[in-house]
Amino acid sequence: MSALDWHPWQPVPPLPRPRLLTPAVLAEWIDGGQAFRWQARPDRSLEGGWLHHHVRLRLHPSDSTLEFSAPATTDLTATADALHTYLAGPPADEDLLPWRSDPSLAVALAAYPGLRILRQPFGETLLGFVCSATKQIPQIKQMLALVASRHGSHAAPESEWRALPTWAELASVSEEELRACSLGFRARHVAGIARFLAANPGWLTATEHAPYPEAKARLIELPGVGEKVADCVLLFGAARLEAFPVDTWIIKAMARRYGLDGWRPEQIAHFGRTHFGAHAGLAQQYLFAHERALARAARL
DNA sequence: GCACAGGTAGATT
DNA sequence: AATCTACCTGTG
């Protein structure tokens, strides 16, 4: 058996609120800016992973159900289990969003029907979004690919997949080496966080499980982590649907759709949490995806 | 050449 | 408390 062999396509274990996805929704969900370790393949499948898990995802050619595969040497049962956690995400529900009374939200929901929030590993999500500051998604992916290839460990001896380094592993990577991975000024932040976490065992896990306001306040103590990054980490890496990350796209979307011109990010975040409610993070992801799609369409 | 990119932090007003 | 600026690097 070659190390390049993959298992036959398998159905992904049933997810909550099943829907038929389109390729565009699948791509936006998996590779639209929540996670940075996925790559589109020529056959329209997506290849990527998290921690030591390396998988491919596709929609079944005829019935559009979600399928996965993994390298032939991996245990499919364990992978399916981890994949289910990763994809099922928090119990987000569009019907808890005010789309009936909010035409702008309704349009965004209709643009990517079935878009979900991932449940990524907390530590990896923190690393990814600390690296995301003022970078475009392809560049963030490139930075993290370099960090993984140079400083991450193999999933298995024969595997091509390199996990991102854990924070414990990053503690022994110099800022210089991180700069060599094109992190720029983010290298200082990553190195600083790694040092802090090495000196404070248990801090990250306690933060992951703290109530949202406390978890966010703790994350913001870290160098390179402000409101936006903290909310991304809590939304995509800790299933906190009340987190409402406000980035440049959301600032644009809220100005255009809700008349919030000139509002400061924190005011927009407050508006988002009160207007969209307990699942505001889900609304954010739809608005983000829709606003970017409109910008792409305008460039063509 | 230069503005801008899923921001943050420290200085200045 | 609001606004300004430096911070790396790749892309258009």
pLDDT digits (tens, 9 = 90+) for A214-248: 999 999 999 999 999 999 999 999 999 999 999 99
Residue nearest C2, CA–C1′ metric: A264
Q: Is the CB of A228 under 7 A from strand B?
A: yes
CB A66, CB A57: distance < 8 Å: yes
Spanning CA of A132 to C1' of C7, the rounded length in angstroms is 14
Residue nearest to nucleotide B8 (CA to C1'): A224
At residue A17, the pLDDT reads: 80
Q: Strand C within 7 Å of which CB atoms in A 213-272?
A: 264
The encoded tokens of residue A127 equal 């690393």
Q: Which pLDDT value is given to residue A299?
A: 79
Q: What share of chain A is helix, strand, coil (3-state, %, to 5)?
A: 50, 10, 40
Distance, Å, A40 CA → C10 C1': 21
Phi then psi dihedrals of residue A261, to 5 deg: -60, 135
- Residue A249 near residue A284 (C-beta atoms within 8 A): no
Contact partners, residue A286, CB within 8 Å, separation at least 6: A105, A108, A109, A111, A112, A115
The pLDDT assigned to A229 comes to 98
Q: What is the pLDDT of residue A1?
A: 57
> Among residues A183, A203, A278, which one has the least CA distance to residue A240?
A278
Nucleotides of C under 7 A from a protein CB: 2-3, 7-11
CA–C1' nearest nucleotide, residue A285: B6
Residues 121-140 of A with CB under 7 A from strand C: 134-136, 138-139
The whole-angstrom separation of Cα A235 and Cα A39 is 22
Residues in chain A with pLDDT < 50? none
Predicted pLDDT at A136: 97
pLDDT of amino acid A155: 84
Look up the protein residue whose alpha carbon has the minimum distance to the C1' of B9: A224
CB atoms under 10 Å from CB of A253, counted, come to: 25
Report pTM: 0.97
What does the pLDDT read at residue A25?
Answer: 97
Cβ neighbours for A273, distance < 8 A, ≥ 6 positions apart: A242, A244, A280
User: How high is the pLDDT of residue A300?
Assistant: 74
